Amino acid sequence: MIAKRLKFITWTTLIIIAVCLDPLTALSNDQTDFKILVGQWVRTDGGFIVHVRDVKSDGFVDVKYLNPKNINVEEAEVSRWKGLLKLFFKLNDKGYPGSTYQLYYYAEQDSLIGFYYQAALDQTFEVIFLRKPTQ
């Protein structure tokens, strides 16, 4: 019960911080390049993993999505939006046709926060991914 409540408090705190942050100060275009996104990211409400394997300066990104098995990523790109890095990718697999993630990188929390659109349900969910520590 305590662990569940702590998880809720952590998730809620991250959402509040993300909303309250001035996006222009969260990440400067000159200070961070797209490579900061490389790594494995774990969704806080489940075992979903986004594995950013490579990012190019032109916005090309090599992304793998696992739930827990590999789900086909049809397209992916990184761009800048109001001073934040934005990671967008579209899934195309059984149970996921047309589902998308739109995630924004917040340097202070080293987190990806944004939205998951579940096309099969026509619903959008707020989501948070935290970087998986390297071993």
Q: Looking at 8-22, 33-47, 53-67, 76-90, which range is the least confident one?
A: 8-22
In the chain, the amino acid numbered 88 is F
Residue-wise pLDDT tens digits, 17-28: 444 444 433 434
Domain count of the fold of the chain: 1
* pTM greater than 0.85 (yes/no): no
Q: Looking at 1-5, 29-33, 58-62, 111-115, which range is the least confident one?
A: 1-5
Supply the CATH number for residue 31's domain: 2.40.128.30
Label the pairing between strands 61-66 and 49-55.
antiparallel
> Pick the residue with more confidence: 24 or 113?
113
Q: How far apart are the C-alpha atoms of 87 and 116, rounded to whole Å?
A: 12
Containing structural domain, residue 115? 2-131
pLDDT at 37: 97
At 50, the pLDDT band (50, 70, 90 cuts) reads very high
- Could you tell me which residues come within 8 angstroms of residue 122 by beta carbon, excluding any fewer than 6 positions away? none
